[in-house]
């Protein structure tokens, strides 16, 4: 009997039991995913990435655009601090909508798996706290940044999100590849995934290692003392055919400023924003 003297209906009891099972399954799956990648993530040094803190971010979503009603259903955010792998923020997200069948086919995520997961607001509050003011690193950063700015708008308070895109950078550092899809790039480079791609944790793991490979190649093409966050950010906007030459010219005086102190090199774009 309830406190109001009415026994719960069997249907209500089954629904509540299903919710409890879903929440327990969510906690177990997040724990399993985290533990299965934790050791592999902690071990390697990502020594070619510039000093400071980066957060590698990936969302799994119900569609392609938040403007068309798509929502985040899983998020992974991995920190890299001074070339060392740090913590990972990983969770399913329950946006209150069903997961389309085609998304389940790609990701393996079902609506039932989201039962008991944090709401969108709760997850984004934790995510923005984890990322803080650090730049994010994503493969196809425009996609993830759009979802981040939409879902977390209440917590970003208009703050600009600085992003490094491994897709844009790979096109400039490794020109002429047949494909720049994440799976194709890591296969060519021998980067092993700890799980299936199109799952947030596996995607951030391999994206971090791809970012390290990109940084290693970029470092080899310019003077190491000039390789930093700003160089990477500007490199994303350089024309693909000019990228290698632009890196090689870093530190040499530009013709128009020869003899002037502080010149970083030729071809510097004026804008440092990534649109």
Q: What is the pLDDT of residues 75-128, one digit of tens each?
A: 999 999 999 999 999 999 999 999 999 999 999 999 999 999 999 999 999 999
Q: Is 198 a catalytic residue?
A: yes
Among 23-32, 75-84, 150-159, 266-275, which is the least confidently predicted range? 266-275
Return the higher-pLDDT residue of 271 and 69.
Answer: 69
Among 17-26, 69-78, 133-142, which is the least confidently predicted range? 17-26
Above pLDDT 90, what percent of the chain?
67
The span from the CA of 166 to the CA of 235, in Å, is: 11
Q: Kindly state the average pLDDT of the residues 155-179.
A: 94
Marked catalytic residue, from 13, 26, 139, 198: 198
The span from the CA of 60 to the CA of 75, in Å, is: 6
Q: What is the pLDDT of residues 8-28, one digit of tens each?
A: 455 555 555 555 555 555 544
The ranges assigned to domains in the chain are 18-220, 226-275
pLDDT at 194 (0 to 100): 87
Strands 163-165 and 84-92: unpaired
pLDDT at 132 (0 to 100): 96
Which H or E element spans position 20?
A: helix 10-42
Query: Residue written as tokens 């971090």?
Result: 208
pLDDT at 45 (0 to 100): 72
Above pLDDT 70, what percent of the chain?
75
DSSP β-bridge partners for residue 207: none
Return the higher-pLDDT residue of 68 and 271.
Answer: 68
Strands 136-138 and 84-92: unpaired
Confidence of residue 36 (pLDDT cuts 50, 70, 90): very low
The alpha carbon of residue 243 and the mean position of all alpha carbons in its chain are separated, in whole angstroms, by: 24
Using CA atoms of 227, 230, 233, 236 in order, give the dihedral in degrees to the nearest 10. Answer: -50
Return the higher-pLDDT residue of 7 and 50.
Answer: 50
The span from the CA of 31 to the CA of 38, in Å, is: 10
Q: Kindly state the average pLDDT of the residues 27-50.
A: 57
- pTM passes above 0.95: no
Main-chain dihedrals φ then ψ at residue 205, nearest 5 degrees: -60, -55
Which H or E element spans position 40?
A: helix 10-42
Q: What is the pLDDT of residues 172-196, one digit of tens each?
A: 999 999 899 999 999 999 999 888 8
Instruction: Give me the chain's average pLDDT, please.
Output: 82
Q: Kindly state the average pLDDT of the residues 139-157.
A: 96
pLDDT at 40 (0 to 100): 45
List the structure tokens of 71: 């929502």
Q: What is the pLDDT of residues 234-265, one digit of tens each?
A: 999 999 999 999 999 986 655 543 334 333 33
pLDDT at 225 (0 to 100): 76
Q: What is the pLDDT of residues 226-242, one digit of tens each?
A: 789 999 999 999 999 99
The span from the CA of 13 to the CA of 92, in Å, is: 25
Main-chain dihedrals φ then ψ at residue 116, nearest 5 degrees: 90, -5
Q: Which CATH architecture has domain 18-220?
A: 2-Layer Sandwich (3.30)
List the structure tokens of 24: 């327990």
The span from the CA of 216 to the CA of 10, in Å, is: 61
pLDDT at 55 (0 to 100): 98
């Amino acid at each position: 009997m309830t406190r109001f003297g009415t026994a719960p209906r069997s249907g209500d009891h089954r629904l509540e039991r299903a919710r409890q099972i879903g929440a327990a399954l969510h906690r177990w799956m997040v724990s399993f995913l985290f533990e299965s990648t934790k050791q592999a993530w902690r071990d390697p040094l990502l020594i070619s990435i510039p000093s400071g803190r980066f957060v590698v971010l990936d969302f799994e979503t119900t569609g392609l655009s938040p403007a068309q009603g798509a929502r985040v259903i899983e998020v992974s955010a991995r920190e890299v601090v001074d070339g060392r792998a740090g913590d990972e923020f990983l969770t399913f997200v329950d946006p209150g909508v069903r997961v389309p069948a085609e998304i389940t086919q790609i990701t393996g995520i079902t609506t039932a798996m989201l039962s008991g997961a944090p709401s969108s607001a709760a997850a984004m509050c934790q995510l923005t706290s984890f990322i803080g003011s650090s730049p994010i690193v994503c493969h196809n950063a425009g996609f993830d940044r759009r979802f981040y700015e939409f879902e977390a708008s209440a917590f970003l308070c208009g703050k600009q999100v600085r992003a490094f895109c491994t897709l844009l950078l790979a096109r400039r550092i490794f020109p002429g590849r047949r494909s720049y899809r994440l799976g194709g790039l890591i296969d060519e480079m021998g980067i092993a995934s700890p799980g299936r791609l199109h799952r947030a944790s596996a995607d951030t793991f391999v994206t971090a290692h791809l970012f390290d490979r990109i940084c290693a190649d970029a470092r080899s093409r310019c003077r190491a003392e000039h390789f930093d966050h700003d160089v990477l950010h500007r490199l994303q906007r350089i024309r693909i055919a000019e990228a290698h030459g632009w890196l090689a010219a870093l530190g040499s005086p530009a013709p128009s400023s020869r003899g002037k102190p502080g010149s970083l090199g030729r071809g510097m774009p004026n804008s440092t924003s990534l649109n």
